[in-house]
A = this chain, B = another copy of it.
Amino acid sequence: MTKLTRTDFSDLDAKDTLAQWRGEFSLPPGVIYLDGNSLGALPKVTLARMQDVIAREWGEDLIKSWNTADWINAPSRAGDKIASLIGANPGEVVAADSTSVNLFKLAAAAVVMRPGRHKIITEPGNFPTDLYVLQGLKDYLGPDYILEVATREKIPAAIDKDTAVVVLTHVHYKTGLMFDMAAITRRAHEAGALMLWDLSHSAGALPVDLNGSDADLAVGCGYKYLNGGPGAPAFLFVAKRHQEAIKPPLSGWMGHAAPFAFSDEYTPAPGIRRNLCGTPSILGLAALETSLDLMVRVDMAELRKKSQKMGDLFIRLVEEKCGGHGFGLASPRDCALRGSQVSLTHPEGYAIMQALIARGVIGDFRAPDILRFGFTPLYLSYSNIWDAALILAEVMTGGLWRAEEFQKRAAVT
Q: Enumerate chain A interface residues (CB-CB to B < 8 A).
A: 26-28, 31, 33, 35, 38-39, 41-42, 46-47, 50-51, 54-55, 57-67, 71-72, 97-101, 104, 108, 112, 124-129, 131-133, 135-137, 139-140, 149, 174, 221, 223, 229-234, 247-256, 259-266, 277-285, 287, 357, 362, 364, 366-367, 410-413
Contacts and interface: CB of A to CB of B under 8 A. Distances in A.
Given A54-B46, A282-B230, A100 B66 contact: no
A277 B132 CA distance: 10
Number of copies: 2
A41 B60 CA distance: 9
- Name, among A133, A221, A223, A413, the residue most crowded by chain B CB atoms within 10 Å (CB to CB): A133
Contacts of A364: 63
Given A101-B277, A132-B251, A260 B50 contact: no
A392 B136 CA distance: 52
Contacts of A71: 230-231, 412
- Name, among A64, A136, A259, the residue most crowded by chain B CB atoms within 10 Å (CB to CB): A136
Contact of A129 (B50, B232, B278): B278
A279 B128 contact: no
A112 B141 CA distance: 11
Contacts of A66: 411-412
Contact of A59 (B28, B140, B255): B28
Contacts of A33: 62
5 contacts: A67-B410, A98-B278, A112-B140, A132-B266, A139-B247
